[in-house]
Every structure is written in structure tokens, then in C-alpha cells.
Amino acid sequence: MPIATVNPANGETLKTYEAMGPEEIERRLQLAEATFRTYRTTPFAERARLLHRAAGLLDEIQSDVARVMTTEMGKPVKQARAEAAKCAKAMRWYAEHAESLLADEVPADDDVKDSGASRARVRYRPLGPVLAVMPWNFPLWQVIRFAAPALMAGNVGLLKHASNVPQTALFLEDLFHQAGYSEGTFQTLLIGSGEIEEILRDERVKAATLTGSEPAGRAVASVCGDMVKKTVLELGGSDPYVVMPSADIDRAAQIAVTARVQNNGQSCIAAKRFIVHTDVYDAFAERFVEGMKALKVGDPLEEATDVGPLSSEQGRADLEELVDDARRGGASVLCGGERPDGDGWYYPPTVLAGITREMRIHREEAFGPVATLYRAGDLDEAVLIANDSPFGLSSNVWTRDEAEVDRFVRDLEAGGVFFNGMTASHPAFPFGGVKRSGYGRELSGHGIREFCNITTVWHGA
């Protein structure tokens, strides 16, 4: 795949880049290793000052970088601005909390004495250069939620971004350099996927994190497993959105629309499978379909646009195949389902009902504005449908019954359970999944400790 900016709103290639050659890759690896030797001893106060500076710079140019993201991958520009603001917020959160999150832990006195020590503690030390393999769908946020904690922990970052967002990738490198970080602290590698394995096998790279597809995750995990290197994987998701009779149906249907089409439906944590109790199914379905039909599809640079184009022609073709397979299997198309005429890789908000286990869309992730509706007879059936997926990233449940809340928290197979609202990430809360959605956690204290050497320090009596 060429490294290029191709505007998904019209298919026009705006800018192309040459991939870095072996000599430049080697130079950057050497620089990362050398920089880590000194950066790892930088006091937390200095790390925080630099990250606060980066956040301030990002705020100043929020509108400019938002237009770049929109032009490269098609998200509505108002959502791109919100993404940039969220990144600055996360930077500030880690700048303010990292030192306490990584403070030495002191065991209980009785345990220290029982171990035969006069004193003991647990210290979090950085690992070294970390390679981040990142996707195009949230081209700024996915990187910052790795970079902010990694840099505050004393690591240095190497970014292999998706090949269709090179301008965003280079912007990120420039942002950190302008903030005052030395060149080797955060570097973008303009390379294709074929160069990733060699970099992962390099002894100077100590760990890797990947957000992306299941095949990409398997490939990175396989290489790092062979090299015995730490990895964190955030892969696909087909999140359930369960609606029970006690829910506020109007509100549940309204939020369901946003939860499905955020980022043009190209989000791992977007709600995709809408599982509705039979007592409120008809009422919810009517409101949900009305909301999906009312969305404005169009130029993502226009403020009034709700849904822009998919990021690539292949992405739209993949989505069409899932819809067509479901239609052939007997699914009902309640709205959408047909490619519009004209330029760009647009696809309309679509709702399918009558889904069966034999349809591909029941097992595969629909990466675009396509929702599937399921009818559940009771709570047990709702849980059964929700868990009948190879993925387990997050989940949404609408209920005002506390007994049902307890059951869903206990039984849903997911890395998050969000009640009476849509899944969202926040720097204070851990983010990640189970099953084929990956392993490890990003964000919060759990995320910053993923790439630390958790060290026992023991002193004899």
C-alpha cells in the first residue's frame, strides 16, 4: 500500500511519500536507543513540563490538524476537532498524574519482616524504545493514548502509522519536537507493513503496542512472542448495545444512533449489535431507524455533516459484502443498504433486522455505519446473544433495574460495561478487551504500567 494522502470524499491523491530506506531506519533506531539512556533519568517535573507544552501547542492548532485528519480519512471535521481536544486533555491528565501512578509501592510491614528484609519497595522503571503500530480511524487519539503515558514513564516512542495518514503521522513527530522533546524521544517511521517484523526483531526495540485488525495483531504478537517481548493489543470489536424494558427508550434510541455512526461507523468501540427486549423492540426499532434516516451524509469538511465517507474504496466494498450476504440470508433492510451515486466512498446509515448466526455480519465486525437489530425474549437471551461473538471489547446496557445491572456486570464478556450511555474512552479509566479484541490495557494507571519494568527492591536486615 502506498504511503499517501488520498481524500476519501472524492478519491483524489493529494500527496505521496517515499518510504524510509534501511539507512534512515537504522539511524532512527540508533537515535532512539541513545536518547533513552538519558531521557529515562529525566525528572517527572521535566517530563510533565514538556507534555503540557505539547498539549498547549495542540490546542493552538486544533482546527488545522482537524482538517488534515478529515482530509486523510474522512471523519466529520467537528469530530476531528473533538479528537484533537481529547488528545490535549489526555496529555494534561498524564502530565499531572504520572508521578503518583508510578510512585514506589511499599509492602505491608509484616510482609517486609516476613521476607527477611529491613525494607522493601516496588519501583516502576521504563523499558526503552516502544514501537507503536497505529490505525487510521482515530489517527491522533490512538497515538496519543500510547505516547502520553509511555513518555511520562520514561520510555521513548517509535510510530509506524497507517499508510493513508502520513501527514498526521508527521504532524505528531513535529508536535513533540516543537514542544521541546529531543529528536529521538518520539519518531515517526514512514514505512510499509513489510518492514515491521525486522524492527520488532531488533534488540533495541523493547516492546510493541498495536491497535488494528485481528490479522495485524496476530502478526505482531507472533513476532514479539518469538522474541519474548511485551505487547499490548487492541483489536476489533462488535460491541453489543442491550436495551431492557425499564430503559428510557427515547434516550436509548437517540444515543444508539450516535453510538453506531460515530467516526462514520469506523470505530472499534462503536455499538454494532443492538439487542432489544421483545417488550420494547418495536418502539426502539421505530425510533432508531428514524434517527438513522435523519442523519446528513456528505462532505466531511462541512459543519452540518453527520456522516462522511468511509476511509477507502476497499473498506466500502467490504461493508457492502457483509450487507449483501445478510440480505441474501433473509435479513430485512430497514433503511440504507445501497451505495449512493457520485464521487467518494460514501455508504448510507443502514439498519438490518432478522439476523441469524449463519450470516457473516453476525460474526464479523462491520466497520461502517451499519447496525444489526436482534430481538431478545429475556435477560438470559440478551446475554447469550451479546456474548455470541469472537470479540469482547466493550458493551452498552440500558436498564434502570439494579438487579439487572449486577447480572450484566457479572456475565457480559467485555473489557467494559457502560450503563445508560455509550462507550467512550477517558484517560482515567482502563481501556481494552478480551477474546479476539486483544489483551493488555491502555489509559489509566494500568496503561502507564504496561511498559514498565515492575521491579522488586529488597534490602537485607
Which of 33, 83, 173, 268 is catalytic? The answer is: 268
Strands 12-17 and 370-376: unpaired
Q: Classify 266 as helix, strand or coil.
A: coil
* Annotation marks residue 268 as catalytic: yes
Grid look-up 518469538 returns 226
Measured over the CA atoms of residue 305, residue 309, residue 310 and residue 316, the dihedral's sign is: positive
Which among 72, 234, 404, 442 is annotated as catalytic? Answer: 234
The answer to whether 234 is a known catalytic residue is: yes
> 6-9: which pairs have CB atoms within 8 A and are 24 or more residues apart?
6/72, 6/164, 6/312, 7/71, 7/72, 8/73, 8/74, 8/308, 8/309, 8/310, 8/311, 8/312, 8/344, 8/345, 9/74, 9/299, 9/300, 9/301, 9/308, 9/309, 9/343, 9/344
Q: Cα 286 to chain center, whole Å?
A: 31
3-state secondary structure of 231: strand
DSSP state letter for 262? G
State whether residue 130 is helix, strand or coil: strand
Cα 148 to Cα 309: distance, rounded to the nearest angstrom = 30
Active site residues: 234, 268
